[in-house]
């Protein structure tokens, strides 16, 4: 998989991609992540990339020209499966969407800043708009990092135990059940006996029941989607 990210603050993304799962995927050659500074494409001599919005609204908007030119150049070099704009008014990200995007070969992500990008860019280039939650960040960089991390961990070979990702919360529409590790008793607190039984059928039944109980308590809305 190749992921290109357009941003005015590439420095915000160096850290997240230099650690943990994303770094492992890059080091293994299973994913390429390329950061592109929008300022490198501006024709303004002061490297300015924002302007005031028409209509007199407050705030600033990322300018048309540098983003347009960046997208055109990148599209001439790579055939993208999706061009994604990270924005609070996009489709709320969920595991199903992550699963489908993880099958793509090439993705371009555009990080908004200030009040976002000109609507004409969204109309003519963007194929998918994604929000990571009902709140506003200073820019789309952290959202791009979240989406990238969620995608990379699903690429076969990135995580040592590939089955681990398939048993995470949301993969089957439910939250994951509780997990325990050694010792079996600590400070008087005991691990459920069934997990020590070695009976895989009973363990699976326990996990399914606990996942359902946890989902009913914490995220009943997920069960509505399953009905």
In-domain check, residue 46:
yes
pLDDT of 54-94, one tens digit each? 998 899 999 999 999 999 999 999 999 999 999 999 999 99
**Do 46 and 134 share a domain, yes or no?**
yes
Do 49 and 10 lie in a common domain? yes
27 and 108 together in one domain: yes
* 0.85 surpassed by pTM: yes
Pair (138, 181) in one structural domain: no
What is the structure's pLDDT at 167?
A: 62
- d(C-alpha 7, C-alpha 141), whole Å: 7
**10-residue averages of pLDDT along the chain (227 residues):** 98 95 96 98 95 93 97 98 97 96 98 94 98 96 98 92 62 89 97 97 96 95 78
* Of 38, 1, 37, 31, residue with least CA distance to 17: 31
Please check whether residues 92 and 138 belong to one and the same domain: yes
| Residue 38 near residue 48 (C-beta atoms within 8 A) | no
Listed in order, strand segments (DSSP E) in the chain are: 2-7, 32-37, 50-51, 61-62, 82-92, 106-111, 128-131, 185-186, 189-190
Q: Does 23 fall in a domain?
A: yes
Measure Cα distances from 105 to 100, 110, 146 in Å.
11, 17, 18
Domain count along the chain: 2
Domain end position, chosen among 90, 125, 152: 152
> Residue 160's pLDDT is what?
74
* Residue 179 structural domain: 167-226
pLDDT for the residue numbered 202:
98
């Amino acid at each position: 998989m190749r992921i290109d990210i357009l941003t005015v603050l590439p420095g915000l993304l160096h850290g997240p991609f230099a650690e943990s799962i994303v770094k492992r995927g890059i080091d293994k050659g299973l994913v390429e992540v390329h950061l592109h500074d929008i300022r490198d494409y501006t024709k303004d001599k002061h490297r300015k990339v924002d302007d005031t919005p028409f209509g007199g609204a407050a705030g600033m908007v990322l300018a048309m020209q540098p983003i347009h030119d960046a997208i055109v150049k990148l599209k001439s070099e790579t055939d993208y499966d999706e061009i994604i704009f990270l924005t609070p008014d996009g489709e709320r990200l969920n595991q199903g969407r992550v699963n489908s995007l993880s099958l793509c070969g090439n993705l371009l992500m555009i990080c908004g800043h200030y009040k976002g990008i000109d609507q004409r860019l969204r109309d003519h280039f963007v194929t998918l708009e994604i929000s990571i939650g009902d709140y506003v960040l200073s820019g789309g960089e952290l959202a791009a990092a979240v989406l990238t991390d969620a995608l990379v961990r699903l690429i076969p070979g990135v995580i040592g135990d590939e089955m681990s990702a398939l048993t995470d919360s949301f993969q089957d529409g439910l939250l994951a059940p509780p997990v325990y590790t050694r010792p079996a008793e600590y400070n008087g607190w005991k691990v459920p006996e069934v997990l020590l039984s070695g009976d895989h059928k009973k363990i699976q039944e326990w996990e399914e029941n606990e996942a359902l109980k946890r989902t009913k308590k914490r995220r009943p809305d997920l069960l509505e989607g399953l009905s």
